[in-house]
């Protein structure tokens, strides 16, 4: 992958609402609302952020609310995050104070 694509960042501010799928080869930071699937190299869902859809990312950090399944190599669910969906990941970090309902499959690939 090209280094310029790796460092590309997109920001969805708290006053934005997007209806539709989002795909990026870089980093996405979401403070607003997304109704649709999100695919990115790196995804951060801030405390004010809401995703209603599935997430697929290499590195995912949740602080906001998400309703949908997550597939991520590394997933961190931080204090205050709310997740309603199934998880498939290799590395899982869950902080005290997070709220999760769903099945978890956290298995390192050989």
**For 42-89, how does the pLDDT look when each residue is reduced to its tens digit (9 = 90+)?**
999 999 999 999 999 999 999 999 999 999 999 999 999 999 999 999
The pLDDT value recorded for residue 69 is 98
Q: How confident is the model at residue 36 (pLDDT cuts 50, 70, 90)?
A: very high
Measured CA to CA, the distance from residue 97 to residue 100 in angstroms comes to 10
Q: CB of 53 within 8 A of CB of 35?
A: yes
Provide the mean pLDDT of the chain: 93
The pLDDT value recorded for residue 11 is 96
Task: Write down the pTM of the prediction.
Answer: 0.89
């Amino acid at each position: 992958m090209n280094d310029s694509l790796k460092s590309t960042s997109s920001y969805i501010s708290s006053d934005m609402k997007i209806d539709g799928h989002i795909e990026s080869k870089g980093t996405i930071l979401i403070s607003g609302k997304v109704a649709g699937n999100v695919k990115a190299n790196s995804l951060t869902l801030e405390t004010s952020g809401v995703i209603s859809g599935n997430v697929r990312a290499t590195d995912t950090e949740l602080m906001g609310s998400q309703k949908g399944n997550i597939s991520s190599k590394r997933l961190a669910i931080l204090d205050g995050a709310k997740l309603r969906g199934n998880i498939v990941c290799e590395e899982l970090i869950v902080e005290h104070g997070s709220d999760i309902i769903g099945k978890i499959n956290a298995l390192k690939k050989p």
